[in-house]
A and B are shown apart, each in its own frame.
Chain A
């Protein structure tokens, strides 16, 4: 796994997580989708659900109450109002 994905998880009150990860799974309004490195640019709304981050075979999940994801060649940014670690 040479290539990794820069991932930021941001709530209005703080930067919850900022890390290099292997994969991010987000609950999009039109269905869940996973983001791997070199994903094409996407902007999507999120519905309330679980966001999963995978890095080095370890999985970390967060509960979101809806939000927004921005995938660019530089990385993935998730903006959500309330984030709790599940």
Chain B
């Protein structure tokens, strides 16, 4: 049986931990709201971009002349996986579930004889994946010390990806991130961004009129497709930011509750042993007095 002093120390330390986890939970909750708003604010742009591109893609009949970003390079040998994760841990299974999905897909592709390259955005994914991969990993992108995610960061990743694509170092590109469903559920998702994929379900009704393009369709596509990559990455990063805070909030809520349970059970043990010790001392005094 641990001594009373040891028990007291343990209770104090669990209480300190609980204070930290509770504070982290509240910080995550307030950051979550902002991240969620940012993620929702980014949706219209991405949706419109998707609709416009869907339109344009549908109007291009000649696959030969279509930009490679849309039609692909005609091969599926070399894959680039972009794995977007958080910069920090302590957010439950958030980072590991994204990394696991990416890892499984990468291993599947490699087993099928494809070449795989992995670009990690965010330090945590890199830390996990470097245990499994070595030469496949490209230099990671990190946002450490950065306040928020903006279009500039997405643009930076996108231009790097596009430069690699232009240098013909991969054929297909898939983006892994965690989709924010709600506070308690975040779904790790893989989204193919090169060649571009979109649902062309919401083609607007033009009322019989033909679209005018200014300049030509292909010029517009050439300008829009790279931008679309950046937009998709931005969207993934923002969804990720919201998911991370959601995951952290849930994880810290659990941790706080567990700490509470631990404090309760430790307090009971502490009180019992204190009581036992008092009783023992009393017995000693009384039997001592009787012996006189």
- Which residues of chain B have C-beta atoms less than 8 A from A54's C-beta? none
Check if A13 sits within 8 Å of B150, measured CB to CB: yes
CB neighbors of B among A65-86 (8 A): 68, 70, 72-74, 77, 79, 81-82
CB neighbors of A among B206-244 (8 A): 206-207, 209-215, 219-220, 223-224, 227, 230-231, 234
Give the interface segment out of B3-11, B45-53, B76-84, B261-269. Answer: B45-53
- Which residues of chain B have C-beta atoms less than 8 A from A45's C-beta? 214-215, 219-220, 223
Whether, in the assembled complex, B205 has its beta carbon less than 8 Å from a beta carbon of chain A, the answer is: yes
Give B81 Cβ to nearest chain A Cβ, in Å: 23
Check if A72 sits within 8 Å of B204, measured CB to CB: yes
Bound-state CA distance A28–B212 (Å) is 13
Whether, in the assembled complex, B70 has its beta carbon less than 8 Å from a beta carbon of chain A, the answer is: no
Bound-state CA distance A68–B227 (Å) is 11
Of B209, B214, B227, which contacts A28 at CB under 8 A?
B214
Whether, in the assembled complex, A36 has its beta carbon less than 8 Å from a beta carbon of chain B, the answer is: no
Size bracket, chain B contacts: 20 to 34
Whether, in the assembled complex, A42 has its beta carbon less than 8 Å from a beta carbon of chain B, the answer is: yes
Check if A29 sits within 8 Å of B48, measured CB to CB: no
Check if B215 sits within 8 Å of A40, measured CB to CB: no
Known: A12-B151, A73-B205. 19 other contacts (CB 8 A): A11-B45, A11-B151, A13-B41, A13-B151, A14-B41, A15-B44, A43-B55, A43-B56, A43-B212, A43-B214, A45-B215, A45-B220, A72-B206, A73-B207, A73-B209, A74-B204, A77-B48, A79-B45, A79-B52
Q: Which residues of B contact A (CB under 8 A)?
A: 38, 41-42, 44-46, 48-49, 52, 55-56, 150-151, 154, 204-207, 209-215, 219-220, 223-224, 227, 230-231, 234
